[in-house]
């Protein structure tokens, strides 16, 4: 799966979690807390949605800062 495809899927997940968010401004460099506006609860929801969408389980509580880090993790842990 290409990075662009993963980013598109992440934007779809974010759209469900934060419906009012302007997804056109979300890039790989976007910081999850500062730029995307996620808090601990929405990060948990994001993690659960990622697990469901991409078919794997996180070991423990992942610590991501940017959207790019999430894409890196998904890319290295999925076979889609």
Q: Is 36 helix (H, G, I), strand (E, B) or coil?
A: coil
Bridge partner list, 66: 31
pLDDT of 80 strictly over 60: no
According to CATH, the superfamily of the domain at 3-77 is ACP-like (1.10.1200.10)
Q: Please state the φ and ψ torsions of residue 79, each to the nearest 5 degrees.
A: -115, 10
- 1-51 tens-digit pLDDT: 899 999 999 999 999 999 998 999 899 999 999 999 999 899 989 999 999
pLDDT score, position 37: 92
């Amino acid at each position: 799966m290409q990075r662009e495809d993963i980013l598109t899927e992440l934007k779809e997940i974010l759209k469900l979690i934060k419906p009012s968010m302007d997804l056109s401004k979300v890039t790989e460099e976007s910081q999850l807390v500062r730029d995307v506006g996620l808090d601990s609860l929405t990060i948990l929801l994001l993690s659960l949605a990622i697990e469901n969408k991409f078919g794997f389980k996180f070991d423990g509580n992942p610590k991501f800062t940017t959207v790019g880090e999430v894409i890196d993790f998904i890319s290295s842990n999925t076979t889609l």
